[in-house]
Every structure is written in C-alpha cells, then in structure tokens.
Structure 1
Amino acid sequence: MPVPVEDPFPFPLSFDDGDVILRAGDAEFKVHICLLRLVSPFFRTMFSLPQPNVGKSEIPVIPMDDNAASLDFVLRSIYPLKRPLATSIEQAQKVLEVAEKLDVEYVAGAVRTSLSELLAAEPNPLRSWAIATRHGLEGAQKAAILRFDPNSYRPSATPPRELLYVNGLQYHELVEARKKSFGIRGL
C-alpha cells in the first residue's frame, strides 16, 4: 500500500527564501519578487515603484484583497510545481478573476480552458452560456447556445444567478439565434 506523501508546499504557498509576503486575509504567501516580476506586468509595475524603507532583515508585506485560495492557485501555477486544476466552475471563475487582475496571462489562459471544459459538463445550458458570455469564452458560449432549446426552456422562479452578468441585448441574441435554428417565428 503506498504511503501518502506530505505536500512539501502546503497552503499557503510559502518559501523560506522568499523576499516578499503577499497577505490575503489571514494567509501569508512568502514568495519571490523576481518570479512575480517575470510573469506579471502587474507585479513588474508594482515592484518598479519606490518601496518604503524597511530594515535589511525585514521582508515587505503587501496586502492583497484577493481570495486567499484563488491567490494560492495562481501562485502555484506560476512556480514550476505540479499545476493545480480547477475542479468547479466557481473555483475557476474566482481564479480567473485573480489571474486577470494580476495580469498573469498564461495562468488565465489555462484557467479559461479549464472553465470551458467545466461549462461543457454544466447541465443548465443557460447558466453555461451566461458564464461563458461573462468571461468571453466564445467556444463555450457557442456550445451552450447549441444546447439551449427555447421550446423547452421555461423561465423559473430562480433563474441562474449568472444572468446578472449579461445584458438584455446579449440574452436577446441568444434567444434569436436559437429561434432561427428551430425555425420559430415571432415571440
């Protein structure tokens, strides 16, 4: 029977030789400025600005207003470690928001791919379409449109909350595209 191996980098991701601490909530991530600058224009700009004087033994602490778990996911994706995988639509959306905010495009791109795959398995095509539309995932959006059947769809008392992030014109275009596919005229 295999013996479980302890994760050498438990949450929050932290390195003894890190030279900056990113603090998100109660979690502190002791990481490396040089790597952050390398992968992110956001951090490149941040670390090019004059920094407050700290003692030689002090490590700068940067407060982050991001979700700690999502920031951990992005940082693990930056380092040459085993890449984390988004396992839910909610997780993928949160991580995508952090990756886009921090301008770490290759992480954002990988998460967009994962999110598209998760949306393909989402049973509610209207929810899938709304999320894909919100995040500009054209392939996932088109796939959701094909799954959406206006003949069988009846607005429920609780529509997908993700419809809050799309506008009426986008929804109208969805309905019109499907009406054309089903040969429906009028309302």
Structure 2
Amino acid sequence: MATRDSKAFPPNSKADIIFISSDGVRYGIHAKNLEVNTGGFPPINTQNGLSVTSEPVLLPENSSVLDLLFRFIYPIDRPNVEDMDFKTVIKLAEAAEKYQVYSAAHVCRLCLLRFGNFMKTHPVEIALFAAKHGYAELLELTGAHGALLPLSTVVPLLPERLILPWVGATSIH
C-alpha cells in the first residue's frame, strides 16, 4: 500500500511514534500527548526519555476518523462534532472508546444524545453502541424512539442479551 503523510500531523523528528491509517496515511504523534490524553493506545517504549519505537503502528481506522481523533489529543481547535453526520460521529465515537480518548468520547456521547436527531433516526445503532460500552442511560433513552420501530426490524440487529431489555424499554413508552 502506498502511504502519504498527514498534513495536520506529519511524521517528523519530533514525533515519538508513527501511526498508519488503514488507507495509508502516516501520522507523527507525540508520546506525551498520548500519555496525558488517552488510555488505550499502544504503549511507547522509552529509554532515558527518548522513544525507542522504530516501527510504525498500523491502525484499522481510516484517515478520516484518525484526522478527527488525533485533534482531541492536542491543545488545538477540536472538531465540531455537532455538525457531523451520524456515520462520522459513530465511527469517531467507536475509535474514541477503543483508544480511550476521553474528551472525544465525552463529546461524541453528548452528540449522540442531544444533537442532529440521531436518537430519533438511529436508535438501534445508538443502543448497540451504548450496550457495547456500558452506557446504561444512553441505552435506556433509545427505548422511547425505538418503540416506534417494528420489533421484526430491531430484534435481528440486537445481540441476544439486549433483546429483553430493548423490548422492556420500548414497552414502557
């Protein structure tokens, strides 16, 4: 796969680690920012305060997700998540949860809850996200909107452990 350098986070001599997206974009990221602002990226090996990581780390996310995610680990302008479409928000939310980018995860949860009518238009997807990451309050709120959907549409999408809670939550509303 051909690679190209990120314009916002180019690999350079000051970067401690190089990440490569699934679509071949190389990112130069500072270990200190990962350490302070995340909890789920691969650890950086250091000796005497200097990185000894020589191999780039391949990430399964594409550059459109990583371009957004990495902005949350630096003291720079954050992306305006409220203006994003659902597909972008949910991909960013999944990456933020996976790599424990706390500020991005928080903003994405708020966005799923309050902005863009996502709760009305994507209640099943939000319920699955909430269940996967243990957000009971978000899962419960999807019930009111999911009640409008036929069970024959929803049940095949849910893991077995969520079918009864979903049916119970939707029957209340």
Moved over 6 A (4+): none
Instruction: Count how many residue pairs are aligned between Structure 1 and Structure 2.
Output: 156
- Inter-partner Cα distance in structure 2 for 1:82 and 1:147: 33
- Residue 120 of structure 1 aligns with an amino acid whose one-letter code is N
Partner of 1:13: 8
Identity across the alignment (%): 17
Taking the TM superposition and a 5 Å limit, the aligned residue runs for 1:33-52 are 33-43=31-41, 46-48=43-45
Residue 43 (structure 2) pairs with residue 64 (structure 1): no
Structure 1: tracts of 5 or more residues without a match: 1-9, 179-187
- Say what the alpha-carbon RMSD is for the aligned residues: 3.3
Partner of 1:99: 96
Q: Check whether the contact 2:45–2:52 (CA below 8 A) recurs between aligned residues.
A: no
Cα drift, residue 61 of structure 1: 1.4
Taking the TM superposition and a 5 Å limit, the aligned residue runs for 1:16-165 are 16=12, 17-25=14-22, 26-43=24-41, 46-48=43-45, 60-86=55-81, 87-118=84-115, 120-121=117-118, 123-124=120-121, 127-128=122-123, 130-136=124-130, 137-147=135-145, 154=150, 159=153, 163-164=157-158
- Residue 40 of structure 2 aligns with an amino acid whose one-letter code is F
Residue 165 (structure 2) pairs with residue 170 (structure 1): yes
Structure of higher CA gyration radius? 1
Cα drift, residue 139 of structure 1: 4.9
Structure 2: tracts of 5 or more residues without a match: none
- Inter-partner Cα distance in structure 1 for 2:170 and 2:66: 37
- Inter-partner Cα distance in structure 2 for 1:117 and 1:161: 25
Query: Per-residue displacement from partner, 1:41-64 (whole Å, max 9, x unpaired)?
Result: 223x611489x967xxxx541111
Equivalent residue of 1:29, what SS?
A: strand
- Inter-partner Cα distance in structure 2 for 1:149 and 1:161: 12
Change (3 A) 1:112 1:175: closer
Query: Per-residue displacement from partner, 1:126-149 (whole Å, max 9, x unpaired)?
Result: x32x23322325555454433455
Change (3 A) 1:131 1:12: farther
Q: What TM-score do you get using the length of structure 1 for normalisation?
A: 0.65
